Amino acid sequence: MARPDKAAAVAELTEQFRASSAVMLTEYRGLSVAQLKQLRRSLAGNASYAVVKNTLTAIAAKEAGVDVLDGDLTGPTAIAFVTGEPVEAAKSLRDFAKANPQLVIKGGVLEGRKLSAEDVSKLAELESRDVLLGKAAGAFKAALFQAAYLFTAPATKAARTIEALREKQAAEA
C-alpha cells in the first residue's frame, strides 16, 4: 500500500476503535467469501466486521488508546467493531463459530478491558440488556406489590373482624 493509503486506513481504523463500545478479534482462515458475507449479515445492526492488516490495526489501536491488543494481532485477523449491544455481537460470533468451526474467536476489548476468548464466550452466555431490564422491573414490581399487601393487610383484617362481630350480633339478636 502507498503511504497515503496506509495513513487513510489507519485513520479509518482509529475512528472505528473510538466509535466502538467493544472490539472482538477473530481468525477467519478457511472461511469462504459467502460465509464471511453471512457472518457480516448476522452482525448487522450490532457490529461491523472487517478484515484488517495487523500492523495497521496495531498502529490505529495505539492511536485510539487501546493498548491491550498487541498479543492477539497475529495471523489472519478480522475485527468486529461493536457499536450496538456487545452481548448480541458476542452471541452472533459464538453461534457462527459453532456452525463454522473455521472461525476462531481470539478475544477482544470491552470498555478498555482485555477479553480472552473465554471471556467472549461468557459474554455471549449473558442475557440481552432488554431481558435483564425486564427481570429487574419485574422484581421491583413484585416488591412493590408485596409492600402494598403488607400495608393493607391490617386494615383488611380489621374490616373482616368487624364484619364477623356484626354478623355474630345480628345472629344473637
pTM over 0.85: no
pLDDT at 128 over 70: yes
Across 142-171, b (16+ Cβ under 10 Å) vs e yields: eeeeeeeeeeeeeeeeeeeeeeeeeeeeee
Per the CB < 8 A criterion, the answer to whether 72 and 78 are in contact is: no
Q: Distance between CA atoms of 60 and 64, rounded to whole angstroms? A: 6
pLDDT band at 2 (very low <50, low <70, confident <90, very high): low
pLDDT in tens, 15-55: 888 888 889 999 988 888 999 899 889 888 888 898 888 88
Q: Distance between CA atoms of 11 and 68, rounded to whole angstroms? A: 19
Q: Distance between CA atoms of 141 and 162, rounded to whole angstroms? A: 32
pLDDT band at 148 (very low <50, low <70, confident <90, very high): confident
The three-class DSSP label of residue 33 is helix
Of all residues in the chain, the percent with pLDDT exceeding 90 is 6
pLDDT at 142 over 60: yes
pLDDT at 1 over 80: no
The label of the residue with cell 469462504 reads 32
For 123-173, the DSSP string reads: HHHSPPHHHHHHHHHHHHHHHHHHHHHHHHHHHHHHHHHHHHHHHHHHHH-
Amino acid symbol at 92: S
Q: What is the mean pLDDT of the chain?
A: 86
Take residue 3 and report the three cell numbers written for it. 503511504
Per the CB < 8 A criterion, the answer to whether 123 and 115 are in contact is: yes
Per the CB < 8 A criterion, the answer to whether 64 and 17 are in contact is: yes
Q: Distance between CA atoms of 123 and 117, rounded to whole angstroms? A: 10
pLDDT at 9 over 80: yes
pLDDT in tens, 64-108: 888 777 777 888 889 999 988 888 889 989 999 999 889 899 888
Q: Distance between CA atoms of 27 and 134, rounded to whole angstroms? A: 35
The three-class DSSP label of residue 60 is helix
